Amino acid sequence: MSEKRFFHVGPDGELRKVATLEELTKAVQGGGYAWLDFFDPVKEDLLPLIEALGVHWLSVEDCLDENQVPKVENFPGNTVLIVNSYRREEDELVVEEVDFVLGKDFLVTVSGHGGGRRGFLERPGETDELDAESIRRGPDFLLHILLDRVVDQKLETIDAVQDAIDTAEEEILDSPFSFSPKRLLRQRRDLLTLRKGLFHEREILAKICRRDSPHVSERAIYRFRDIHDHLTRYFETVEICREMITSLMELYLSMVNNRMARAANRTNASVRRLTLITTVFMPLTLLAGIGGMSEWTMMTGAANWKIAYPAFVFGMVVIGLINYRLLLKAEARRPGK
């Protein structure tokens, strides 16, 4: 549901809410500046800003486009900043766009595209907590306060990703076969999304700190340098997490392969023992089958059974010993012995 709020920031830093855009423009003529906050706006909500505040029409187009890459762009009369806010919802990373339009005597904030959640000032009374001493200095100082809140909320998402990685590491070490690698792949995808946004936002703050925007005063630059330092630290943390994901995937595959190798070795040892038993007793079974069916007495004659059967048993023993010696020699020549 679309929502819009208009505030007049007086020279004393007091934040006064006004009902309409016309009242706001009249109040600004008496001093101070305007802050216009839009949540999930439609085109009809933003078009009046072109005439009332002199906002460039391309700035309005950028604020209505939900698929913008974080950027900063200067237009005649205003500067547009587009950043991303992050939150986790049911273990899924949700990316939402937050737009800032900064002018000489106004600041426009746009968030909640598609009915999402506010990236800042979510509680109705949270505007009362803004530092009057800071915001009275100009819209660029108000921009710093709001942008700082958006950036600080990124840390919650990054910490949640780090906690998920630590949990995955413990589960891999405890029971690699019950662990699902899909979780690591999902975390890596989220980290790539975070990295992409942080990379562009770091470049945005670097441009602002170089005074590329004519609407950010020299006295406010040092505040934006602090935000740039935060983004740099977050970017490095995300890079470390990406390396940890790669290491965990290698650890998972290594542990699974090791356990499978140990199981295969146990199976091979059992097969070797069974092969040994089979090789020794297979010819004996053949001879026992022939002799047990009376074929031996048929070949030697029934009268010679006292000599024939001892000779038969002796032959079985000799054949068994020969097979056993051959198997011992083969085992001695096996690699690793």
Q: Binning pLDDT at 50, 70 and 90, where does residue 259 land?
A: confident
What is d(CA 265, CA 223) in angstroms, rounded to the nearest whole number?
Answer: 63
What pLDDT, on the 0 to 100 scale, is given for residue 115? 65
Q: Are residues 47 and 186 in the same domain?
A: yes
Contacts of 183 by beta carbon, 8 Å cutoff, 6+ apart: 164, 168
Mean pLDDT of 202-218: 89
Tokens read off for 290:
């022939």
Q: Starting from the edge strand earliest in sequence, which strands make up the sheet with 92-103, in order?
A: 15-18, 3-9, 33-39, 106-111, 92-103, 78-89, 71-75
pLDDT score of 103 more than 80: yes
Domains held by the chain: number: 2
With 70 as the cut, is the pLDDT of residue 122 above it?
no
Residue-level pLDDT at 124: 44
Query: What's the CA gap between 170 and 258, in Å, rounded?
Result: 18
95 shares a domain with 242: yes
Q: Which of 118-127, 131-140, 306-315 has the highest mean predicted lDDT (pLDDT)?
A: 131-140
DSSP string, 116-135: ---SS--SGGGGGGS-HHHH
User: What average pLDDT does the segment 95-111 reach?
Assistant: 91
Same domain, 177 and 275: no
Q: Who contacts 268 (Cβ-Cβ below 8 Å, separation ≥6)?
A: none
68-78 pLDDT tens trace? 889 999 998 89
Q: List, as own/partner pairs, every contact residues 248-254 make where C-beta atoms lie below 8 angstroms and the sequence separation is at least 24, other chains included.
A: 248/165, 248/168, 248/169, 248/172, 248/184, 249/181, 249/184, 251/169, 251/172, 251/173, 252/172, 252/176, 252/179, 252/181, 252/184
- Residue written as tokens 């020299």? 218
Residue at which a domain ends, from 255, 286, 308: 255
Please compute, for residue 277, the number of CA atoms within 13 A of its CA located in the half-sphere on the CB side: 5
- The verdict on residue 264 lying in a domain is no
Distance (Å, whole) CA 193 – CA 161:
12
Mean pLDDT score, 192-221: 90
Contact 306, 297 (CB under 8 A): no
φ/ψ (deg, to 5) at 122:
-75, -35
Indicate whether 220 and 312 sit together in one domain: no
DSSP state of 69: P
Residue 132 lies in a domain: yes
Question: 127: pLDDT confidence band, cut at 50, 70 and 90?
Answer: low
CATH, residue 175: 3.30.460.20
Residues 6+ apart with CB under 8 A from 64: 41, 43, 46
Asked whether residue 262 is assigned to any structural domain, the reply reads no
pLDDT at residue 120 is higher than 60? no
Lowest-confidence pick of 163-177, 246-260, 271-285: 271-285
Indicate whether 187 and 318 sit together in one domain. no
Last residue of a domain, one of 190, 225, 255: 255
- Domain residues for 26? 3-255
Name beta bridge partners: 55.
none
Residue type, 315: G
Q: What angle do CA 78, 83, 87 make, to 5 degrees?
A: 150
Does 328 reside within a domain?
Answer: yes
Query: Which residue type sits at 279?
Result: T
Please say whether the dihedral angle defined by the alpha carbons of residues 196, 197, 203 and 206, taken in this order, is positive or negative: negative
98 and 242 together in one domain: yes
CA distance 142 to 9: 10
In a domain, 261, yes or no: no
Sign, CA dihedral 302-304-305-309, equals negative
DSSP structure class, residue 92: E
Token pair for residue 324? 């056993």
**pLDDT tens column, 47-83:** 999 888 899 999 999 888 877 889 999 998 899 999 9
Distances (CA, A) of 131 to 81, 136, 145: 22, 9, 9
Q: Is residue 197 part of a domain?
A: yes
Q: How many residues are present in the chain?
A: 337
Asked if residue 263 belongs to a domain, the reply is: no
* Confidence label for 101 from pLDDT (cuts 50, 70 and 90): very high
Average pLDDT of the chain is 83
User: With 60 as the cut, is the pLDDT of residue 11 above it?
Assistant: yes
Q: What CA–CA distance (Å, rounded) separates 316 from 42?
A: 97
Q: Tens digits of per-residue pLDDT, 138-160?
A: 899 999 999 998 998 899 889 98
* pTM metric for this prediction: 0.74
